[in-house]
Structures are given as C-alpha cells and as structure tokens.
Amino acid sequence: MVYYPATYCTIDGGPMIRSTVQALNRGLRYLAANPLLLAALLLAALIATDVLMPESAWAGPGGQFVKAVTKTWWGKALLGLAAIILLPLALYVVVREWIEVRRCRRDLAELEQRFPFFGWNHIEARARETIETLYRVWGTGDLSSAAPYLMPDYLQAQQDLLDRWKAEGKHNVFSHAGDISLAPLHVGVENEDSNSLVVLRSKTHVIDYMEHVETGKKLKGSKSKQELESCLVFIHVAGEWMLSAIEEGDNSLAIASEKNVLDASYLLEMADGSQFASPDGAQDPAAAESEKGPVGVAEHD
C-alpha cells in the first residue's frame, strides 16, 4: 500500500485544525513541485532512520523491529536536524491520525447501539487482555496459553517462528515494560465475504533483543527500554474479538485513512432469520454473527 499525504486534503475538524492542515498541505505540494528539495529531505530521513539507528531487535510479537536510538552526540545532532526539517510532515501525520481516530470512535459508538460487541470499552478490554497475554508468554517460546486470543493460523505462524529461532540456537528476549495505549483506526462490519473487523493502534515500551543461547551474546536489538508501536488486527469470530495479525506501526495513518465499512445490512439480514431468534422472540445480531466461522480479514487497498 502506498500512501501519498498530499492527496488527503479533506479534513473534518475545527477552523484551527483545517487551517493548520491546509498550510501543511501547501508545504507538501511545494515539495512535490521541487524534486531536488524533496530528495534532500528524503535523504535526511534515510540517514536518520537507517544510519543513525542501525541496531534493531529481531522481531517481538508480529515480527516487528524496535529501533535503538543512537547514543553519540553527533548522531543526536543529525537526528535532531532531520527532525526539524521533517517537522511539517510529522505534524501532518499527528493531526490527521488524531482526526481519523476520533472518526472511528464515533462510528463504533453508532454501531454499538445495534451491535454491543462494537462498543469501544468492550473492544479495548479484549485487546488489552490479548496483547498483555501475548507479551507475557512470547519470551517463553510457548504460545499455547495465548490460544484463546489468537486466530489459529496466526498462532501457528508465530509459534513456528519461535520454534525456528530455537532450532537455530537463538532466543528472543522480550519483556513488556509500561502501560499499553490503544486507539481505534479502522472498523469494518461483516458482509458476505469477511467477518467484522477492527484495527487498533497500540503504543507501549518493551525490552526486545535477540541473543545466542549458548554464549549469551546479544545478536540484535537493545537491552534498554524502547517504544513499540503496532497495528493490531482483530476479527469477530464466535462471539469474540480474535487477534488475526500484527502490522508495523508505520502503517497506522494509511489504515486510519481508509473508509470505514459501516453497512450493517448483512448482519441485520442474518438476525432476521428465525434460527437467530432469542427465546423471547427478539433478534440477536451478535448471536447471528457468532454462527459464522472465520472467513478471513478484509484486505486493505
């Protein structure tokens, strides 16, 4: 998926937000019209991310990388310079994602009125329990206790990864060190092709590095606490939200910018069937959905 910030210019916010984003959009369009300046900024970003932060962990849950911030004074100076140069783009990302998170919260609140399992409090509690369980058992190399929270195919893929590292004499030391901040990015209501879906942004701090089992030598990563941002994909199966994938946190704005799929006609049609009627005659949309097996996660464009 390729995301072009300058193409997303319609912002639903107050006058101050709109004027700020419009100014940032003008700056982005100016960069698009001046390829030499844009190339210089991209070079600065490349230096900041790939040269000044060379050390990274192998994965952690979901196969992600936690980058270690450079320690040298010159590295910090160049990193600070790059941050100043890229500040307008960074502000755009923060403002845009904040707006999209608010929109997703509103959509979830509307869906909750007919389908309680879309309630944000319910989703947040389930997601927090899921990710805390996964973080707790990841370093042990045995994910069996996380089975009630993960889709079977995703659970098997992650367990296979840990088993491969074990066979290679490697161990991913991973520990959760801080609160987990969650926010909704995208929601999709069940249709004939896919189950209901929500994507959440997760932010926390972890210790994450790879070591050689026999020698104890650190192979990759950092033994210091680092920030980890992820995108958690949950689908609704058999009455529960199940973790189906963990994507890189860099995808958060692209995911949040996708239009939420809110057409509930399929769920309502399923609920109208007599097989989903409750004993008192009322229809239960949540029960209707629980009768379906997993049919996969809707693809992002």
When pLDDT is cut at 50, 70 and 90, the band that residue 270 belongs to is confident
242: in domain: yes
CATH of the domain at 18: 3.10.450.240
pLDDT band at 242 (very low <50, low <70, confident <90, very high): very high
CA nearest neighbour of 67 among 56, 78, 79, 59:
56
Is residue 298 a part of any domain in this protein?
Answer: no
Specify if 2 maps to a domain: no
Alpha carbon separation from 24 to 14, 27, 38 (Å, rounded): 15, 5, 14
Per-residue DSSP letter, 186: E
Mark out the alpha helices in the chain (DSSP H runs).
15-33, 35-46, 73-85, 87-112, 120-138, 152-167, 252-256, 265-272, 285-290
Does 286 have pLDDT greater than 60?
no
Those residues with Cβ within 8 angstroms of residue 288's Cβ, 6 or more apart along the chain or in another chain: 267, 270, 271, 273, 276
Q: Is residue 252 part of a domain?
A: yes
In a domain, 120, yes or no: yes
- What's the pLDDT score for residue 73? 62
Using 50, 70 and 90 to split pLDDT, how confident is the model at 192? Answer: confident
Q: 98-157 pLDDT, tens per residue?
A: 999 999 999 999 999 999 999 999 999 999 999 999 999 999 999 999 999 999 999 999
**Taking 60 as the threshold, does the pLDDT of residue 295 lie above it?**
no
User: pLDDT higher for 180 or 37?
Assistant: 180
Task: Answer yes or no: is 274 within a domain.
Answer: yes
Provide the number of structural domains found in the chain.
1
Q: Which domain holds residue 164?
A: 7-290
CB distance 70 to 79 below 8 Å: yes
**Is residue 301 a part of any domain in this protein?**
no
Does the structure show a pLDDT above 80 at 87?
Answer: no
**Residues 196-237: pLDDT tens digits?**
999 999 999 999 999 999 999 999 888 888 999 999 999 999
Cα dist from 150 to 154, 198, 236, 274, whole Å: 7, 14, 11, 31
Q: Is residue 233 part of a domain?
A: yes
Please provide residue 197's backbone torsions phi and psi, each rounded to the nearest 5 degrees. -140, 145
Structure confidence at residue 45 (pLDDT): 54
pTM of the predicted protein model: 0.66
